[in-house]
């Protein structure tokens, strides 16, 4: 199953104002619901994944409830070999019944103002999305070697 990235609607769509990408048409089937919101944004539950106009492994997780709330996200497997989130260490029981192909894991990136080369990924609190139900949760992973500020770019 493919992640519901919303840039090319093929069904009923709505126009969304975004912080980073201007006005976007999104397929209503691509809307993701985070029932508990995200920490610090508990009242914001409806999001879509949008592609940036340039080729990149980065996506924009855009809040539909507030256009000024958006997160840069990426697949943690592109950053860390063997990155793993399991149902046992997250407390989300319904994962036990799901096909692993239906689960998409993303991590939020932080870009310090004026220092894009210091980009970091929060590997300790990944976003876990069920692509079939379109429900997402941010979970806490307690694993040695993971950090909330994992460097993304290799310093030379």
Q: What does the domain layout of the chain look like in residue ranges?
A: 13-151
Report yes or no: 128 and 103 within 8 Å, Cβ to Cβ: yes
> Low-confidence residues of the chain, pLDDT below 50?
1-2
Question: Quick one: pLDDT at residue 1?
Answer: 43
Question: Quick one: pLDDT at residue 46?
Answer: 95
**Cα-atom radius of gyration of the chain, to the nearest Å?**
15
* Residues in CB range of 87: below 8 A, 6 or more apart: 93, 95, 96
Domain 13-151 has CATH 3.30.70.270: no
- What is the per-residue pLDDT across 28-43, written as a single tens digit (0 to 9) for each? 999 999 999 998 899 9
Query: How many CB atoms sit inside 10 A of residue 16's CB?
Result: 20
Question: Quick one: pLDDT at residue 72?
Answer: 95
End-to-end CA distance of the chain: 37
Distance set, CA 47 to CA 29, 64, 137 (Å)? 11, 5, 12
Question: Quick one: pLDDT at residue 96?
Answer: 56
């Amino acid at each position: 199953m493919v992640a519901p990235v919303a840039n090319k609607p093929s069904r009923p769509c709505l126009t969304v104002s975004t912080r980073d990408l201007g006005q976007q048409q999104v397929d209503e089937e691509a809307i993701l619901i985070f029932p508990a919101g995200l920490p610090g944004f508990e009242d914001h539950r409806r999001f879509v994944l949008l592609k940036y106009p340039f080729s990149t492994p980065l996506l924009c997780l855009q809040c539909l409830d507030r256009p000024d709330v958006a997160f840069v996200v990426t697949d943690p497997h592109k950053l860390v070999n063997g990155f793993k989130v399991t149902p046992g260490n997250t407390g989300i029981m319904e994962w036990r019944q799901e096909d692993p192909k239906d689960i998409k894991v993303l991590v939020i990136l932080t870009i310090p103002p004026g220092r894009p080369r210091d980009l970091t990924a929060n590997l300790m609190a990944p976003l876990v999305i069920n692509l079939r139900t379109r429900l997402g949760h941010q979970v806490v992973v307690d694993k040695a070697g993971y950090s909330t500020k994992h460097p993304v770019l290799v310093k030379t």
